[in-house]
Structure 1
Amino acid sequence: MPEIQVENEPRSVEPGTRAWQLFADTPEVIAARVGDELKDLAHELADGDAVEPVTIDSPDGLNILRHSTAHVMAQAVQDLFPDARLGIGPPITDGFYYDFDVAEPFVPEDLVKIESRMKKIIKEGQKFDRREIDDDAARAELADEPYKLELIGLKSTAAPGDLQNAAEGAGVEVGDGGLSIYDNLKRDGSRAWGDLCRGPHLPTTKRIPAFTLMRSAAAYWRGDEKNKQLQRIYGTAWPTKEALDDHLHRIEEAQRRDHRRLGTELDLYSFPDEIGSGLPVFHPKGGVIKREMEDYVRRRHIEEGFEYVGTPHVAKEELFYTSGHLPYYGEGMFPALDLDGMDYRLKAMNCPMHNLIFRSRQRSYRELPLRLFEFGHVYRNEKSGVIHGLTRVRGFAQDDSHSYVTPEQAPSEVKHLLDFMLSLLRDFGMDDYYLELSTRDDRADKFIGSDEEWELATQVLADVAASSGVEVVPDPGGAAYYGPKISVQARDAIGRTWQMGTVQYDFNMPSAERFDLEYIAPDGTRQKPVMIHSAKFGSIERFMGVLVEHYAGAFPPWLAPVQVVGIPVAERHADYLYELAARLKPMGIRVEVDASDERMQKKIRTAQTQKIPFMLIAGDNDVEAGAVSFRYRSGEQENEVPLEDAISRIVEAIESRVQV
């Protein structure tokens, strides 16, 4: 009898045993991991197999659920729109999509019909049935599906990375791997529909517990603007109705917190078409937040031993060949500018210029660590399709620093930078985070440096990350071309993850082939420093966008553009509040008096809409008593608070940097 391992326990099974038979009493299991591969529950087990269950609520299980739901959606579309041609339909974060070539774009009414048809297919309990097929037979069967035929043609010609980008989830294997088709079978065994697919899938459509279609959008075939524009339908699927409802609630909350909408409502920033996509401008109130962020982090850098420097926005093109940015990051840089017959580039990074500052004179080991820092404005040639408010822009300021250290100092400097970065996040109210360790993969054209250098640098970062006590998640292949990095992934108030600052270990730029940086060692020899890049915010613009969404625009008092508003009950009380404002302003408190003709209640609503932390309301009794009614933006209010007490509360809240 065949011997297999089930969750590391040996078990004897009958020949021909299927994976589902191992987990028949566990309904949440929807697939199996056999060795390193995901398999359908219908997979026949072989002697020596190591089998693990895949539950529907696991990451792999969610992908299988969503990919199966995408197939049901494609079936429903072709039932309703027989001339629709199939693109690809992979699972994505929190959902799925499928691309279709149709004569007319989908409208909301179409999505209602498609969703209704999907529910009927799910109710029918159609079986997902896998069958292998060779290339020629697949071409014959899919003769009416031009995009599937293209994917089959890619199978033997595309590079692995290109093929994965083009056909993720579409069932096309690299090289000589075989093809498979999944048929949706009715209860009588007849075929209802089928699609070229690698799988695995749920056992039947009835195992789809909860789903909904979200929206449709245009999408170029294989993401290439030169290709035909298809129609993409997005959907989401979850293990329970409650999980789906929670997800939809999170989406609603994310829309309420959208920093682009709040930026307009709170008059913080805008994105004028006349300037260009991805190039924001900050209005006075947004400028206050930006200045507070910059002033605070500049002061913290100086306290942490950094020296402030400044560098230009453009430089000769050759500088970025020396740094390696043009050979390895050229697609992210703007085209060359012709100045006096020479090619210049807008800088995408500040590090090349900091290297020139280090190299401007002889350095001694006594100067190390040498820490240089600036708010350097950089420019990235982002594609228009990925630009998103402040969180993905073409021009932004980095709180960029570079530490030049001896190799022996590198571990302690990485720890110093990581501790500094995490403390800054906590100062801004983001204390839920994990670390991502980005390392090199086997693509020689993407990374520079020897295996030994990469191994040493990676081990330094791995050791520091592990010692931090913070969760560490691997990111193979995500390193910069010049070295590995640690990035901080912070979760906001509704649980979304944002990449924030980074620490990067660089043994390449100081090398003789690059900037030839040196310091004089204690024995008088010339040695190469290690260069450590770090950005605490990453991008001030991005960080502000994240903060707007994290706080839903209701900033803690120290960051709020207007911290206090005086609201007179009647016009005769305005002078009293102006006198109070005159006391607050020299203390650095940002205060306004609403002396408009609106009624008091309207002024309170306006202040709450503008998310001002404190409202000081004054009427006859307050003026007579030298007091105010102290109101928080939450609506909580305390009457007849003496002025000195009110001022103390405001000052304490601002200095503590806590939310109120």
Structure 2
Amino acid sequence: MVNFKEDESLNTLNHSCAHMMAQAVKHLYPNAKFWVGPVVEEGFYYDMDLGDTMLTDEDVAAIEKEMKKVAKSGCKIYRREISKAEALEMFKDDPYKIDLINNMDEDTQTISCYDQGDFTDLCRGPHVDNVKLCRYFKLIKHSGAYWKGDAENQVLNRVYGVCFPTQEQLDEHLALLEEAKERDHRKIGKDMQLFMADDLIGRGLPMYLPNGYTIWTELENYIRNKERKLGYLHVMTPCVGTVQLYQTSGHWDHYKENMFPAMEVEGENFVLRPMNCPHHMRIFANRPHSYKELPIRIAEIAHDFRFESSGTLKGIERGRHFCQNDSHIFCTQDQIKSEVKSVCDLIFSTYEDFGITDYRCVLSLRDPADTKKYHQDDEMWNTAEQALRETLTEIGIEFTEEIGEAAFYGPKLDVNVKPAIGNEITLSTCQLDFCLPAKFDLTYTDADSNKQTPVVIHRAILGSLDRFMAYILEETKGNLPLWLAPTQVKVLPVKNDDDDLNAYSQKLVDALADADVRVEFDTRSEKLGYKMREAQIQKVPYLAVLGKNEEAEGTVSYRLHGEQGTTTVKFDEFVELIVNEIKTKGRK
């Protein structure tokens, strides 16, 4: 998907189109007043005060029609400079523009504005030469937006749009937007009844419905079993900790703005935890350790809370509550290479299981100039960054380096995946930490009976289960592999009032359930076609449709999701087919 903000030519074109939209709005709403109309990643928008009018879809269609008239007029766009005093006089009836002017730098003496026909607007520019160049546009959506993002202020109309140099490029982009809508995990989640949100519970706090929680637990069991085989020790720790805990770790100084406010109880201050490393550090410190025990791999599917701004919240992809597939490996410096290699092997074997092939590895380093974000210890950083860089090189991991993306306590390997729609996201991470073990005074006894400080490797394979689920839903459009689907088989008798047929259908349901297959028996008195369409919306992988012929011959006729054809096999063969596909996760 194109980033309008980063593409210089598209940026200029879309900003010009935002002005053209404001001109069209002024034609339809002569008393309209305008706040700002910036270019953003997904196109442009303009915030407008239309008095008591909140735009409807029909109103936006009318604005679009008027914009086409303006574009057809072919009026040229001219830049001119005026004094601050002239600008204040020109926009004296527009409190939003007056606010912009008054908040400009005190040294600003001249202000640029742009004229196009009967419309003038303040702007730094640049703009295209003629409104005709903005004729390939589309208004995408509209909403209300508080002036300056402050809930105490006036609600303005915000209208979003996109503009391209050609109709072909516009059509291609609109097709991608439609594809994105179909892949949006929030839409899929609603159709499949996976999760919900409730303002009374709180924004950014999704709740998993039975179908969604089934997927969630399958993901949990999947990664937990892989970790057990590699010697991980699973723990459970509380969702709160004292402020003192996070002061010790450094999170209070470096991460406080992303944490929920402290709660005072009996004279002690607690916070909802944003991450799990401090808890795991205290578990390691609970008893003495010998070098012979290392590495110790502590793992947890942990509930965490971060105060994300409301504008960034997005279904289960980004919420204020999420569950991390987290682990902390306590090891010696000599074990760094083998442990990082083991983590990378686990990441890539997991990706293979889920068919993830489009990803890249990034070595995320600190920005030495940022003294606020990162723990200040140049020697520690140099040691940690070089150790991770050398380790990745030695084990043959291809990576690029990015400055300023490290955790506050150490460098990390981020594995970024490229979704079918949208920008890449980080799913997995492996972080090298020489900082927190020292902060918590962690030690182990070496072969010479001396105390040494362990190195800690922070790692997450699925990242958060919530974001991973959102990613998988969007990649598959909800057509999950059989082993992960909430309902794996739905049994539909052709006639609900046939006792013999229902008995045969129940026999199949029982056989599948005994084999631990998630099966649903739909005995509702709805028409078969309706029930089949509903199952398609719910994306059930297998529909077993049973009639008198199947009952008489001891067979099962089934249809795969998204297909029209029906296959008929013997009863036992069908059960075996389902069981084997679940067991092998669909691999041949």
Q: TM-score, normalised by structure 1?
A: 0.78
Percent identical residues: 39
Kept after mapping to 2: 8 A contact 1:510/1:529: yes
Counterpart code for 1:350? N
Which residue does the alignment assign to 1:446?
Answer: 373
Q: How much does 1:100 deviate? A: 2.5
Which residue does the alignment assign to 2:245?
Answer: 319
1:224-373 equivalent positions in 2, closer than 5 A = 224-373=150-299
1:344-423 equivalent positions in 2, closer than 5 A = 344-423=270-349
Cα distance change on mapping 1:598 and 1:194 into 2, 3 Å: closer
Comparing 384-393 and 283-292, the one that deviates more: 384-393
Q: How much does 1:390 deviate? A: 1.7
Q: How much does 1:353 deviate? A: 0.3
Cα distance change on mapping 1:457 and 1:146 into 2, 3 Å: farther
Q: How much does 1:182 deviate? A: 4.5
Counterpart code for 2:562? S
Q: How much does 1:91 deviate? A: 1.4
Q: Which has the higher contact order (CA 8 A, sep 6+)?
A: 2
1:569 aligns with 2:569: no
Residue 430 of structure 1 aligns to a residue in which SS? coil
Kept after mapping to 2: 8 A contact 1:57/1:239: no
Cα distance change on mapping 1:204 and 1:375 into 2, 3 Å: same
Cα distance change on mapping 1:332 and 1:495 into 2, 3 Å: closer
Which residue does the alignment assign to 1:167?
Answer: none
Which residue does the alignment assign to 2:32?
Answer: 84
Q: Following the alignment from structure 2 to structure 1, what is the Cα–Cα distance between the partners of residues 50 and 551?
A: 71
Counterpart code for 1:527? Q
1:90-109 equivalent positions in 2, closer than 5 A = 90-104=38-52, 105-109=54-58
Q: How much does 1:560 deviate? A: 0.9
Q: Following the alignment from structure 1 to structure 2, what is the Cα–Cα distance between the partners of residues 525 and 381?
A: 42
Q: Following the alignment from structure 1 to structure 2, what is the Cα–Cα distance between the partners of residues 111 and 356?
A: 57
Residue 377 of structure 1 aligns to a residue in which SS? strand
Cα distance change on mapping 1:292 and 1:368 into 2, 3 Å: same
Q: 1:212 aligns with which of 112, 115, 138?
A: 138
Q: How much does 1:573 deviate? A: 1.7
Residue by residue over 1:312-338, the C-alpha shift from the partner in whole angstroms, topping out at 9 and shown as x without a partner, is 122222111112222222232222233
Q: Following the alignment from structure 1 to structure 2, what is the Cα–Cα distance between the partners of residues 445 and 203?
A: 44
Counting matched residue pairs gives 580
Which residue does the alignment assign to 1:7?
Answer: none
Kept after mapping to 1: 8 A contact 2:492/2:522: yes
Q: How much does 1:626 deviate? A: 2.3
Q: Following the alignment from structure 2 to structure 1, what is the Cα–Cα distance between the partners of residues 75 and 447?
A: 76
Q: Following the alignment from structure 2 to structure 1, what is the Cα–Cα distance between the partners of residues 347 and 436?
A: 23
Comparing 477-486 and 320-329, the one that deviates more: 477-486
Q: Following the alignment from structure 2 to structure 1, what is the Cα–Cα distance between the partners of residues 383 and 89?
A: 53
Kept after mapping to 1: 8 A contact 2:363/2:399: no
1:541 aligns with 2:469: no
Residue by residue over 1:433-462, the C-alpha shift from the partner in whole angstroms, topping out at 9 and shown as x without a partner, is 334554434332222223443344445556
Comparing 220-229 and 244-253, the one that deviates more: 220-229
Q: How much does 1:84 deviate? A: 3.2
Cα distance change on mapping 1:318 and 1:210 into 2, 3 Å: same
Residue by residue over 1:15-35, the C-alpha shift from the partner in whole angstroms, topping out at 9 and shown as x without a partner, is xxxxxxxxxxxxxxxxxxxxx
Q: 2:434 aligns with which of 503, 507, 516?
A: 507
1:530-609 equivalent positions in 2, closer than 5 A = 530-570=455-495, 571=498, 572-609=500-537
Q: Following the alignment from structure 1 to structure 2, what is the Cα–Cα distance between the partners of residues 473 and 99?
A: 38
Residue by residue over 1:364-403, the C-alpha shift from the partner in whole angstroms, topping out at 9 and shown as x without a partner, is 3443333211011112233444333222222221111112
Which residue does the alignment assign to 2:419?
Answer: 492
Q: Following the alignment from structure 2 to structure 1, what is the Cα–Cα distance between the partners of residues 516 and 256?
A: 45
Q: Following the alignment from structure 1 to structure 2, what is the Cα–Cα distance between the partners of residues 483 and 224?
A: 36
Kept after mapping to 2: 8 A contact 1:377/1:395: yes
Residue by residue over 1:171-224, the C-alpha shift from the partner in whole angstroms, topping out at 9 and shown as x without a partner, is xxxxx78865252456xxxx8524221x33334333335211122222233334
Kept after mapping to 2: 8 A contact 1:215/1:233: yes
Cα distance change on mapping 1:69 and 1:457 into 2, 3 Å: farther
Kept after mapping to 1: 8 A contact 2:84/2:111: no
Q: How much does 1:637 deviate? A: 3.5
1:629 aligns with 2:557: yes
Kept after mapping to 2: 8 A contact 1:279/1:395: yes
RMSD value, Cα = 3.3
Kept after mapping to 2: 8 A contact 1:435/1:472: yes
Q: Following the alignment from structure 2 to structure 1, what is the Cα–Cα distance between the partners of residues 335 and 147?
A: 50
Kept after mapping to 2: 8 A contact 1:375/1:398: yes
1:516 aligns with 2:441: yes
Q: Following the alignment from structure 1 to structure 2, what is the Cα–Cα distance between the partners of residues 363 and 213?
A: 63
Which residue does the alignment assign to 1:118?
Answer: 67
Q: Following the alignment from structure 1 to structure 2, what is the Cα–Cα distance between the partners of residues 482 and 226?
A: 38
Q: Following the alignment from structure 2 to structure 1, what is the Cα–Cα distance between the partners of residues 31 and 388?
A: 54
Residue by residue over 1:84-142, the C-alpha shift from the partner in whole angstroms, topping out at 9 and shown as x without a partner, is 33322221122111222332333334423332333333334444444566766655655
Q: Following the alignment from structure 1 to structure 2, what is the Cα–Cα distance between the partners of residues 485 and 446?
A: 15
1:652 aligns with 2:583: no
Residue 230 of structure 1 aligns to a residue in which SS? strand
Counterpart code for 2:509? A
Residue 577 of structure 2 aligns to a residue in which SS? helix
Residue 423 of structure 1 aligns to a residue in which SS? helix
Q: Following the alignment from structure 2 to structure 1, what is the Cα–Cα distance between the partners of residues 276 and 586?
A: 33
Kept after mapping to 1: 8 A contact 2:79/2:115: no
Cα distance change on mapping 1:458 and 1:72 into 2, 3 Å: farther
Q: How much does 1:232 deviate? A: 1.8
Q: How much does 1:473 deviate? A: 7.6
Q: Following the alignment from structure 1 to structure 2, what is the Cα–Cα distance between the partners of residues 333 and 263?
A: 27
Cα distance change on mapping 1:404 and 1:143 into 2, 3 Å: farther
Residue by residue over 1:506-533, the C-alpha shift from the partner in whole angstroms, topping out at 9 and shown as x without a partner, is 333223xx31223334455433333222
Kept after mapping to 1: 8 A contact 2:5/2:41: no
Q: Following the alignment from structure 1 to structure 2, what is the Cα–Cα distance between the partners of residues 149 and 473?
A: 45
Which residue does the alignment assign to 1:46?
Answer: none
Q: Following the alignment from structure 2 to structure 1, what is the Cα–Cα distance between the partners of residues 4 and 525?
A: 60
Cα distance change on mapping 1:282 and 1:185 into 2, 3 Å: closer
Residue by residue over 1:34-80, the C-alpha shift from the partner in whole angstroms, topping out at 9 and shown as x without a partner, is xxxxxxxxxxxxxxxxxxxxx99983332232222223223333444
Q: Following the alignment from structure 2 to structure 1, what is the Cα–Cα distance between the partners of residues 255 and 153?
A: 25
